Amino acid sequence: MMNDILQFKMFKTVAVGLLIISSNVLSSGYKFPDGFMFGASTAAYQIEGGWNEDGKGENIWDRMTRSRPELISDRSNGDVACDSYHKYKEDVALAKDLNLKCYRFSISWSRIAPSGEVHKLNPLGIAYYNRLIDELIANDIVPLVTMYHWDIPQYLQDLGGWVNPIMSDYFKEYARVLFSHFGDRVKWWITINEPKETCKGYSFNGYAPYLHLNQTGYYMAGHTQLIAHSKVYHLYNDEFRAKQQGKVSLSVNGFFYVPKDEQSQDDVDTAERANQFERGWFSHPVYKGDYPPVMRQWVDKKSKQEGRPWSTLPTFTKKEIELLNGTADFYALNYYSTRMVKHGSDADVNYNPDAEFETYVDKSWPVSLAPWIIAVPEGFKRLLVWIKNEYGNPPVIITENGFGDNGTLNDFERISYIKSHLSAALRAIHEDECNVFGYTVWSLLDDFEWMNGYVYRFGLVSVDFNNPQRPRTLKASYGFFKKVVATYGLDDSSSTTHSLKLWLNIFFCLITMYSIYIFYILPR
């Protein structure tokens, strides 16, 4: 009997070892699928500058950074930023040299319609984006256009902004202008970037317009954005899709949450609840028509405990549910980091009061200079699998993923971060059959990073913000990413070197397997 047990343990050890070996051998040869859309992302306020040129109107970031500069870490603003308004051809040339398939940028609403109202358009603003789109297409780069990346015109904010339901109609008419002027060439549209972050500007003094409307503002701003997105999607379906043949979605962001204790069912349940609050909030309605049931349950419960006459989470009408359901032609995913969670509401740690989860980090996880970005590539892979299982394996493009540092040109930490996350995406594609078709790194250029100004740098290309000419300098990560795009993989070494790496990989796996057997299994 003891010999049988020992033989079983030996068999299990060998099986685990072979699994480790096969996993490493296969992953080292993985390639991205043919036609994979490699790209880079930017946003209008963060790179354009020209804040009041050629008829552009004032937006909420113009107002906040100029009237309350103390709110920005280095008291800076986006008045000039990277000066891409004037240097867009240089930026397109950088994208061309990278051999990018697509370039994701956003359109400044107030550059198109200075007040946000479409009965008064700015022809010079429309002309600028026509020039940019034409320049991209002339260089065989697909424009991936975000309609709204946090810069609502100030006039519309004075009307209440995203907590005013009428904003959904203003946004729909703004989208009509974009489809009409650019849709003959733009085939990939993102209506709203990271609506959850927009909500923070209406709730917890997170971003412009820097309001503190608590949970009420938080959920109301999200509700209006979702309805606005659905109206734009159906506008495209009804009036433009047949002729323009494009695709429409919205970009969803957030941490991915894993159980603090993987063996604890309570932690497992808490992680799932946290993910529904984080990503299900904006994914569930466009794929299933309504908020996640667990989100509805917990917010309603908390509102009742607080003695409110109604829930802080608004309710969709039956018609709105029908309009929302199925309003994503692809899943646009922004990911930077992962957190561990457990059930609780300790004010001394990061926690969500409605969903009652506390967040933690593993001390072994590498932290970037930008403290919210902690490298957890395995969390990225798990998130891709979660999306696959939750929403029926939709086509996914990673619209943001990047690393913040101090601007060094030898940005090897960024290379490590990007490489590890691309590797995680490859494994999700090949091992889990996740339908990932693109990756756009954040960001092409160092830029204005919202409340942190120019403290953190995310670009593959350095921008000298102290020089009025805003010269660009390539970083080490630029060269790394260029090789990835050229080879559709993460290993462009010679076949001899590649084979040596594989055999070394096998050797170290065998050593690991033997060590596990000698020091862990045999003594038992």
| Tens of pLDDT, residues 415-429 | 999 999 999 999 999
Phi, psi of 343 (to 5 degrees): -70, 135
> Per residue in 37-89, pLDDT tens?
999 999 999 999 999 999 999 999 999 999 999 999 999 999 999 999 999 99
DSSP for 190-252? EEEE-HHHHHHTTTSS-STT----HHHHHHHHHHHHHHHHHHHHHHIIIIIHHHH--EEEEEE
Q: What predicted TM-score, i.e. pTM, was given to this entire model?
A: 0.90
Query: From the candidates 48, 135, 194, 272, which is the catalytic residue?
Result: 194
Residue pair 274/260 in contact by the 8 Å Cβ criterion: no
Residue pair 411/476 in contact by the 8 Å Cβ criterion: yes
3-state SS string for 101-142: CEEEEECCHHHHCCCCCCCCCCHHHHHHHHHHHHHHHHCCCE
Answer whether residue 6 shows pLDDT above 50. no
Domain boundaries, the chain: 42-252, 254-328+338-370
Residue pair 354/332 in contact by the 8 Å Cβ criterion: no
194 assigned to active site: yes
Using CA atoms, how far apart are residues 81 and 448, in angstroms rounded to an integer?
6
Query: From the candidates 48, 278, 356, 400, which is the catalytic residue?
Result: 400
Residue type present at position 94? L
Using CA atoms, how far apart are residues 2 and 415, in angstroms rounded to an integer?
50
Residue in 425, 400, 424, 419 with CA at minimum distance from that of residue 476: 419
Residue in 450, 378, 366 with CA at minimum distance from that of residue 412: 366
Residue pair 333/251 in contact by the 8 Å Cβ criterion: yes
> Per residue in 312-346, pLDDT tens?
999 999 999 999 999 999 999 999 999 999 999 87
Residue pair 330/249 in contact by the 8 Å Cβ criterion: yes
Answer whether residue 497 shows pLDDT above 60. no
> Per residue in 115-157, pLDDT tens?
999 999 999 999 999 999 999 999 999 999 999 999 999 999 9
Task: Name which CATH class applies to 42-252.
Answer: alpha beta
356 assigned to active site: no
